[in-house]
Amino acid sequence: MNVARSSRERSDLRIALFGHPLGHSRSTELFAALATAGGPRIDYQPVDIAPQRFAAAIERLRAGEWDGANVTIPHKRRAAESADALDPIAATAGAANVLVRADDATLVGANTDGPGFVAGLNTLGDDNPLREDAPAASAVILGSGGAARGVAAALASRTGRVVLVSRNPDQAVSASRCRPVLGWNDRRLERTVREARLVVQATPLGMAPRVTEAPPLPPQWLGPHHVVVDLIYAPWETVFLAAARARGAVVLNGWPMLVEQAAFALELWAGAGTGPQLRDAVARLGVGND
Ligand code: NAP
C-alpha cells in the first residue's frame, strides 16, 4: 500500500488507538519497547471512543490530530466503512484495524489482524497447522466481528474450509463475504468443530475484567488433534484456553498475534524496516513474558 506522507518524520508519529473499552490493551507497551530499544518514537495515544462518538473521532483523524490509528473492539467494521480505500484483506473482511492518514487527509484502511494471526502461528513450530508441508487444515472461528473476519480473510487462501460461528448467522452472512456461518445451536457445529484442525476464539468472552466467561462451546468437543488459538492475551490464559489445554489441544494465546499485527501496522505508518525493529525490541526486552 502506498500512502503519500512527507510532512512528518517517521520518528515523530502520533498514532491513536480507538476502542471501547480499552483497559485490556497492551499495545502501548509494544511502542514503548520500540522507543527504549532505539527505534522510532511513536506517540501512541489510547483514546476511549464510545460507538456514538466514532464518527467524530474519524473527523479528528482526518483533521490531522493523529497521523494514523489502530482500531480495536468494537469499531473495526465502522473503520472500514469510514476509509477512502482499503487493502485487500480489509476489503474482504469488511473490517480495518489500521487507518493511515495521507497528507491529503484521505484515510486508507488496512487489516493487519489477519496477517498478524497467520504470522503468530509460526511460534508453534512443527504444530503450526499452516506450515508448508501440513495437509490443508479446516478452521472454525468463534465470533464474526472485526478480528474474526480479518482472520477468516487471511486464512481463506491458506486452509481448507473456514467456518464462522455467530449469534446471528443470517446477519453475519449478509454483512461479510466470509461464509459459511453457523449459529451456536446449529446441530452441524459439533461435527464441524470435531473435524477441524484449527479453532480460533475471536469473541471478547473471557477478556479481562470478565475473566470467568467463556464461549458456549463444550470443551469435550476438543482434543489433541486441535490447535486452539484464543485471540485474548489479557488474561494470559482464558478459561476457554485452559479447558482446551486440559483436553490435550495445542494452545496459543493472542500475544504473538498482537506483536505481529502491530509490526505490520508500524510498517504502514512509519515505513519498511520498522516492523522487524518492533519485533526485535519486544523480544529483546522480554515484553509479554508474563
Ligand atoms: P468485535 O468486532 O466487537 O467482535 C466481537 C464478536 O464476538 C462479535 O461480533 C460477536 O459475534 C462475538 N460476541 C461478542 N459478545 C458475544 C457473546 N456474549 N456471546 C457470543 N459471541 C459474542 O471485536 P474484535 O475486534 O473482533 O475482537 C474480538 C476479541 O479478539 C477481543 O477480545 C479482542 O481483544 C481480541 N483481539 C485480539 C487481537 C490480538 O492481536 N491478539 C486482535 C484483535 C482482536 P456475533 O455478533 O456474530 O455473535
Ligand 1: centre distance to CA 86 (Å): 21
How much is the pLDDT for 8? 47
- What single DSSP character describes residue 136? P
Top CATH class, 13-111+258-285: alpha beta
Task: Measure 235 CA to ligand 1 centroid, in angstroms.
Answer: 15
- pLDDT by residue, tens only, the chain of 290 residues: 545 454 444 558 999 999 998 877 889 999 999 999 999 999 999 999 999 999 999 999 999 999 999 999 999 999 999 999 999 999 999 999 999 999 999 999 999 999 999 999 999 999 999 998 888 889 999 999 989 999 999 998 788 889 999 999 987 655 555 568 999 999 999 999 999 999 999 999 999 999 999 999 999 999 999 999 999 999 999 999 999 999 999 999 999 999 999 999 999 999 999 999 999 999 999 888 76
Report the alpha-carbon distance of residue 60 to residue 98 in Å, rounded: 15
Catalytic residue (one of 75, 76, 149, 279): 76
| Residue intervals in the chain for CATH 3.40.50.10860 | 13-111+258-285
Question: Is 120 touching ligand 1 by the criterion CB < 6 Å?
Answer: no
Residue 187 has a pLDDT of 96
- The pLDDT value recorded for residue 190 is 98
pLDDT of 2 reads 46
109 and 80 Cβ atoms separated by less than 8 Å: yes
Amino acid at 64: G
Q: Are 54 and 99 in contact (CB under 8 A)?
A: no
Query: Is the Cβ atom of 112 under 6 angstroms away from ligand 1?
Result: no
Q: Is 200 in the pocket of ligand 1 (CB under 6 A)?
A: no
**pLDDT of res. 11:** 58
Give the position, in ligand 1's atom list, of the atom nearest the Cα of 204. 32
- Was domain 115-253 assigned CATH 3.60.20.10? no
Q: Which atom of ligand 1 is nearest to the CA of 95?
A: 2
Tell me if 39 CB under 6 Å of ligand 1: no
Give the span between the Cα atoms of 138 and 147, in whole angstroms: 18
The DSSP code sequence of 28-43 is: HHHHHHHHHTTS-EEE
**What local confidence, expressed as pLDDT, does residue 4 receive?**
43
- Protein residue with least CA distance to atom 18, ligand 1: 205
pLDDT of residue 267: 97
Pinpoint the residues of the chain covered by CATH 3.40.50.720.
Answer: 115-253
Bin 46: left if φ > 0, else alpha if -120 < ψ < 50, else beta. Answer: beta
pLDDT digits (tens, 9 = 90+) for 62-93: 999 999 999 999 999 999 999 999 999 999 99
Which residue owns the Cα nearest ligand 1 atom 28? 203
- Degrees (nearest 5) of the Cα angle 149, 152, 154? 110
pTM reported for the whole predicted model? 0.93
Residue reference for cell 472461528: 141
Cβ 144 under 6 angstroms from ligand 1: yes
Residue of minimum CA distance from atom 25 in ligand 1? 73
Q: What is the DSSP string of 225-284?
A: T-EEEES--SSSS-HHHHHHHHTT-EEE-SHHHHHHHHHHHHHHHH-TTHHHHHHHHHHH
Residues 258 and 116: their CA atoms lie apart, in Å, by: 7
For residue 1, what pLDDT is reported? 54
Nine cell digits for residue 69: 490509528
Please work out whether the CB of residue 119 comes within 6 Å of at least one atom of ligand 1.
no
Q: How far is CA 144 from the centre of its chain?
A: 12
163/76 Cα distance (integer angstroms): 20
Alpha carbon nearest to ligand 1 atom 4, residue: 145
User: What is the C-alpha to C-alpha distance for residues 280 and 290, in angstroms, rounded to an integer?
Assistant: 18
- Tell me whether residue 154 is one of the annotated catalytic residues: no
